[in-house]
Amino acid sequence: MYQFNTKVYYEDTDSGGVVYYANYLKFIERARTNLIQELGFSLRSLSENYDCHFVVKNIHCNYIQSAKLEDELSIKTKFLEIKKASFKLEQIIYREDKAIFESEVLMVNINSKGKPLKIPEPLITAINV
């Protein structure tokens, strides 16, 4: 389980001070990017060294409660399934230890021509540690 902490800024909210619905997807994207970095990689290095580009194929979201301006959020990410060219993640956003957003994300690895590509072995090894 990986954790990424963030805060709700003015730019994340609508005129009522509530997080705009699409911004939850930005929060979990940032958590995924941070996860790759915690595993010892960067998206740029994966692209340059392996022609590896992760794209969202499918996402299922459940909005439980709204986050508001200046809320402290914690995004917890867990690998549910790893295949040759894809992996499925569970990502949950918490505010004060209470889940406010749940998602299941299917990420597919493609090359620069848009074709499915096996996930690099060093990354698989780092995930499985």
Identify the active-site residue in 14, 51, 71, 97.
14
Sign (positive or negative) of CA dihedral 96, 128, 29, 61: negative
> DSSP label at 51?
-
Q: List strands edge to edge, sheet with 72-82.
A: 2-7, 72-82, 86-95, 98-110, 53-63
Catalytic residue check, 14 = yes
Active site residues: 14
